[in-house]
Amino acid sequence: MTKALIVIDVQVDFCPGGALAVPDGDQVVAPINAMMGKYDAVLMTQDWHPDGHSSFASQYADASPYDVVQMPYGAQVLWPDHCVINSVGAQFHSDLDLTGDLILRKGYRPAIDSYSAFFENDHSTATGLHGYLQERRINDLTLVGLATDFCVAYSALDAARLGYDVTVDLTACRAINLNGSLDEALTRMQEANVRLDGALR
Ligand code: VGL
Ligand code: ZN
């Protein structure tokens, strides 16, 4: 069994003071750094949006952040501008250990958002991560990071669907929790046989 730790979006904009701050988002950094030595591979994702990305509420005349709109690929939450390519907010948290093998950027296509590390929000445009993991014979994934109910959950659900053995370590995750999104994400992950480790924070 080859095991990877996948660290999701531990970036300045998702931490307190950031543009899309996840409550206590910075609290994941210490536990994640402490976990890294226990895996054969450590991969990180980085939310990475061009200016004017279609998931930004600022792009619509009469929309506010956290409104939900219909995109050609389905429902999409509109967010405050965040993780803009090359901005400070898109950088990893400055205390995060970057001794990893791979940084995977996602969300860089203007017309489509990408929560999952595996597929964009149309659930069919691949990021290439599955091929990377297959070629390295990695079949056991532990996911941690931000946010539990969006990018962590979408990644975990896709990974389970692709046949990986998937664990989400809740002690090293924090949630946005928008209109029940956390409960829904936890239920969907349980139904998909994603192992939920540790107590919810
Ligand atoms: C995320 C909303 C928008 C996340 C990224 O990392 O969970 N959420 N972009
Ligand atoms: Zn984003």
Check pocket membership of 146 for ligand 1, CB cut-off 6 A. Answer: yes
Q: Alpha-carbon distance 6 to 102, whole Å?
A: 10
Residue 200 pLDDT > 80: yes
Helix, strand, coil percentages in the chain from 3-state DSSP, rounded to 5:
25, 25, 45
SS3 151: helix
Question: Domains of the chain: which residue ranges?
Answer: 2-47+82-197
pLDDT in tens, 102-113: 999 999 999 999
With bands split at pLDDT 50, 70 and 90, how would you rate the model's confidence at 65? very high
**pTM (two decimals):** 0.97
Evaluate: CB of 56 within 6 angstroms of ligand 1: no
Q: Which ligand places an atom closest to the C-alpha of 176?
A: 1
Q: Answer whether 15 contacts ligand 1 (Cβ < 6 A).
A: no
Q: Of these residues, 13, 47, 83, 106, which one is catalytic?
A: 106
Main-chain dihedrals φ then ψ at residue 162, nearest 5 degrees: -80, -5
Average pLDDT over residues 82-96: 98
Q: To the nearest whole percent, how much of the chain has pLDDT over 70?
A: 100
Ligand 1 centroid vs 147 CA: distance in angstroms? 6
Instruction: Output the residue whose Cα is nearest ligand 1's atom 2.
Output: 150
φ, ψ of residue 94 to 5 degrees: the values are -65, -20
Q: Ligand 1 within 6 A of 119 CB?
A: no
SS3 of 91-130: CECCCCCCCCCEEEEECCCCCCCCCCCCECCCCCCECCHH
| Residues 76-84, mean pLDDT to the nearest whole number | 98
Task: For domain 2-47+82-197, give the CATH superfamily.
Answer: Isochorismatase-like (3.40.50.850)
- Model confidence band, residue 96 (pLDDT cutoffs 50, 70, 90): very high
As a whole number, mean pLDDT of residues 7-13 equals 98
* Beta carbon of 151 within 6 Å of any ligand 1 atom: yes
pLDDT band at 196 (very low <50, low <70, confident <90, very high): very high
pLDDT recorded at residue 165: 98
At residue 84, φ and ψ (nearest 5 deg) are -75, 135
- 113 CA to centre of ligand 2 in angstroms: 7
Average pLDDT, rounded, for the chain: 97
For 31-43, give one letter per residue: b (16+ CB within 10 A) or e: ebbebbeebebbb
47 in contact with ligand 1, CB cutoff 6 A: yes
pLDDT at 183 over 80: yes
Q: Is the pLDDT of residue 1 over 80?
A: no
Flag whether pLDDT at 132 surpasses 90: yes
Structure tokens at 50: 């061009």
Average pLDDT of the segment spanning 69-85 = 97
- Catalytic residue chosen out of the listed positions 26, 47, 149, 151: 151
Could you confirm whether 151 is annotated as catalytic?
A: yes
- Residue 199's pLDDT is 87
On the question of pLDDT at 188 being above 90, the answer is: yes
Determine whether 106 is an active site residue: yes
Residue 58 has pLDDT above 80, yes or no: yes
* pLDDT at position 201 over 90: no
Q: What percent of the chain has pLDDT over 90?
A: 98
Catalytic site residue 15?
no
